Amino acid sequence: MFKKILIANRGEIAIRILRACRELGIGAVAVFSEADRASLHVRLADEAYPIGPSPSRESYLRIDKLMDVARRADCDALHPGYGFLAENPELARACLAAGITFIGPAAEAMEQMGSKTAARQLARRAGVLTVPGVVEPIEGLEKASQLARDTGFPVLLKAVAGGGGKGMRLVTGEAELPAAWRDASSEALNAFGDPRLYIEKYLDRPRHIEIQILADQHGHIVYLGERECSVQRRHQKVIEEAPSPVVDAPLRRAMGEAAVKLARAGGYTNAGTVEFLVDAARNFYFLEVNTRLQVEHPVTEAITGLDLVKLQVRIAAGEPLPFAQEDVAPRGHAIECRLYAEDPDNNFFPSPGTILARRVPSGPGIRLDDGVYPGWTVPTEYDPLLGKLIAWGADRGEALARMRRALEEYYVSGIRTNAGLFRRILADAEFARGEIHTRWLDEWLKAPAAATESGSARSPRSAAGVAGAKSEQAAGRQGSVEDAALLAAALWHLSKNGSSSIEGSAAEKPESRWKLEGRRAQLDRAPGR
């Protein structure tokens, strides 16, 4: 087993990985940018090393700096978390060259899945159904026009190097193609440095359902059931749950076996996710493979009782999977809400700032994976994810009830969060019935009040829509009154606790004593000392 793991990430996922290290008796080494000097992952780690200025280009995305720390701190493995360099084959290669184990699949597997057309070819070879369309990058507009007609409109132009909706354009007819081609191509070049596009038949309002897999280095591959991730806003997942309300045992088995076939054909190892689009008739089509641990992995952990991060570490260390497919017995239902420092009442604008007070939910079936503390300032330079709230219940009804209850307990002041949005979504009758698809949230946000009042009927431009906008403003006002009252209570509480607490609180003075102590103790230690 490894002695020391470099955690090449920040925030809640760095802490999640650190916790796995602790349980395995492995040293956890954190890295931090200037903006993250006082971040919780730094405080909790056994060692922490600076890797540069706040912009991630100059810190968390610098392979050379990460490898330098890994070598100097004598790490024998590296966990990339998600985002940043997690799916960059160059980091896996650099680790291999330095004799440090990369906790994830081989660089070659990441490369194959990184090209969406190569992944589609692999799926076809493995006998897994893909969305109709092409499996080769398209040469130019002329060819595209022919292939779009062959596929049949409406089609989607997608970036070969894509993912996450970037470089994607819907084309409903021949006339739209030239402009869409130009736009998608330049967006793809901008985002990925690769302008190549391919074509898929457009599916209307599919569900996004993904299969978690684990593959060891001895040819054992298992699937751990699915996650329903259809509640998304602009290609960002907002709520995930397991199992999916529409997947029964035979469909789970069919999707799981398809995912395993694909992983086997691609020589895949470690944890991975195979994404599918599922249409209204419950046909499933391969979409893409995520070659990393995902944000939403805790819902799978909740229903399987497995620790995915510890399993990733053990697989990377060469251990065989400690169980077989027939031992995987999902139980109950889990749901996750992604808590963001953003303002749903102001177009989801990021709301960085200093957290003044925070009350964490707990009790039966509740897990909070976050990376923040009162007095800490949410930096502006990264994704403003505060953490994830996960509720487990014996069935979907109990999981939803626990999530509603936990959201009532959750309280943060000093910044805006999207917790209120979750309270409203969890009160929606359509959501409660599991009647969701990939465009559900974007449509729901256009008429939230109509949705919560009637539960389903909504027409964004109707009178109900206008009334909805009004009541949302009222809710916003009520929210700030509530915030002010709670803020006053928190300040009063602080002032009651002795003279030093108010002057000494990080909310008042960023250079507080305890922060300085923390730095002295941990942050500025030079590697190797």
- Geometric angle at alpha carbon 269, from 268 and 275, rounded to 5°: 60
Of the pair 202, 410, the CB lying nearest ligand MV4 is at 202
* Of 407, 422, 414, 421, nearest in space to 351 by CA: 414
Listed ranges 22-30, 74-82, 163-171, 210-218: which one lies at the site for ligand MV4 (CB under 6 A)? 163-171
Segment near ligand MV4 (CB under 6 A); pick from 97-105, 160-168, 190-198, 410-418: 160-168
* Alpha helices in 410-462, H assignment, sequence order: 419-426, 429-432, 440-446, 448-454
Closest separation in Å from C-beta 220 to ligand MV4 = 28
Position 202 contacts ligand MV4 (CB under 6 A): yes
Say how far apart CA 168 and CA 162 lie, in whole Å.
8
Annotation says 16 is catalytic? no
Separation in Å, CA 521 to CA 89, 134, 275, 389: 35, 57, 44, 31
CB of 506 to ligand MV4, least distance (A): 38
Q: Would you say 200 or 296 has its CB closer to ligand MV4?
A: 200
Q: Which range binds ligand MV4 by CB under 6 A, 157-165, 190-198, 245-253, 347-355?
A: 157-165
C-alpha to C-alpha distance for 219 and 198, rounded to whole angstroms: 32
For the bound state, the minimum distance from the C-beta of residue 302 to ligand MV4, rounded and expressed in Å, comes to: 22
Residues 74, 371, 363: CA angle, nearest 5 degrees? 125
User: Using CB under 6 A, which of the segments 159-167, 465-473, 475-483, 510-518 binds ligand MV4?
Assistant: 159-167
Q: Residue of minimal CB distance from ligand MV4?
A: 438
Pairing of strands 27-32, 47-50: parallel
Please, which residue, 60 or 198, has the CB nearer to ligand MV4? Answer: 198
- Are 318 and 333 contacting, i.e. CB atoms less than 8 angstroms apart? no
Distance CA 110, CA 121 (A): 15
Side-by-side strand order, sheet with 169-171: 169-171, 155-159, 197-201
- Candidate ranges 101-109, 138-146, 196-204, 332-340; the one touching ligand MV4 (CB under 6 A): 196-204
d(CA 38, CA 519): 7
Position 466, amino acid: V
Q: How far is the CB of 124 from ligand MV4 (least distance, A)?
A: 15
- Which two tokens mark 189? 């070049």
For residues 335 and 372, is the Cβ–Cβ distance under 8 A? no
Q: How far is the CB of 455 from ligand MV4 (least distance, A)?
A: 23
Would you say 350 and 246 are in contact if contact means Cβ atoms under 8 Å apart?
A: no
Tokens of 481: 């009154």
* Binding track, positions 428-447, relative to ligand MV4; x by CB under 6 A: ----------xx--------
Instruction: Based on the shown chain and the rule CB under 6 A, indicate whether residue 316 belongs to the binding site for ligand MV4.
Output: no
Residue 524, number of CB atoms within 10 A of its CB: 12
Instruction: Decide: 226 and 243 in contact? Cβ < 8 Å.
Output: yes
The catalytically annotated residue of 196, 207, 227, 292 is 292
User: Considering only residues 15-44, where is the footprint of ligand MV4 by CB under 6 A?
Assistant: none
Binding to ligand MV4 (CB under 6 A) within 230-249 occurs at 232, 235
Query: Of the two residues 445 and 487, which places its CB atom closer to ligand MV4 in the complex?
Result: 445
Any contact of residue 56 with ligand MV4 (CB under 6 A)? no
Q: Which is nearer to ligand MV4, 327 or 443 (CB)?
A: 443
To the nearest whole angstrom, how small is the minimum distance from the Cβ of residue 114 to ligand MV4? Answer: 13
C-alpha 301 chain-centroid distance: 15
Number of residues lying near ligand MV4 (CB under 6 A): 17
What's the number of CA atoms in the CB half-sphere (13 Å) around residue 298?
A: 24
Does position 157 bind ligand MV4 by CB under 6 A?
A: no
One of 83, 114, 163, 384 touching ligand MV4 (CB under 6 A): 163
Residues 6+ apart with CB under 8 A from 482: none
Q: How far is the CB of 147 from ligand MV4 (least distance, A)?
A: 14
Closest separation between CB of residue 158 and ligand MV4, Å?
A: 7
For the annotated catalytic residues, the residue numbers are: 292
Positions that interact with ligand MV4 (CB under 6 A)? 131, 156, 163-165, 200-203, 206, 208, 232, 235, 277, 287, 438-439
